[in-house]
């Protein structure tokens, strides 16, 4: 088996402290860190709530406008002026010979 090449001189590296980041801090620094982390988490939570509420409002307003458009479409399909001015020949043909419109 091949072995990995080894340096001829000893490599001197900075020795790292063992343990987690919080364990190397003083108790005061740990408590300040925890307070800042909690405040940041609370801000993220508030931002998420605001975006969810605005998305729900937008969805509700879009659904409301769709209902208005659909109801006006159904009303205009029964109007005589629609049949005289806006109806296509295919719609007129379907209405005269089959008794129902494709739109209704």
Note the pLDDT of residue 71: 52
Note the pLDDT of residue 78: 58
Q: Distance between CA atoms of 80 and 82, rounded to whole angstroms?
A: 5
Residue 1, both tokens: 């088996």
pLDDT one-digit tens code per residue, 19-59: 677 777 888 998 999 999 999 999 999 999 999 999 999 88
Q: Distance between CA atoms of 10 and 18, rounded to whole angstroms?
A: 22
Above 70 in pLDDT, residue 17? no
Average pLDDT score over the chain: 76
Full-model pTM? 0.40
Q: Distance between CA atoms of 60 and 57, rounded to whole angstroms?
A: 5
Above 50 in pLDDT, residue 104? no
């Amino acid at each position: 088996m091949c072995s990995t090449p080894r340096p001829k001189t000893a490599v001197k590296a900075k020795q790292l402290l063992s343990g987690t980041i919080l364990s190397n801090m003083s108790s005061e620094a740990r408590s300040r860190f925890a307070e800042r982390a909690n405040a940041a988490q609370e801000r993220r939570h508030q931002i998420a709530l605001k975006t969810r509420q605005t998305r729900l409002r937008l969805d509700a307003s879009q659904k409301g406008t769709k209902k208005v458009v659909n109801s006006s479409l159904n009303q205009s399909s029964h109007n005589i002026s629609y049949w005289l001015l806006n109806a296509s020949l295919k719609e007129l043909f379907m209405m005269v010979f089959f008794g129902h419109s494709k739109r209704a």
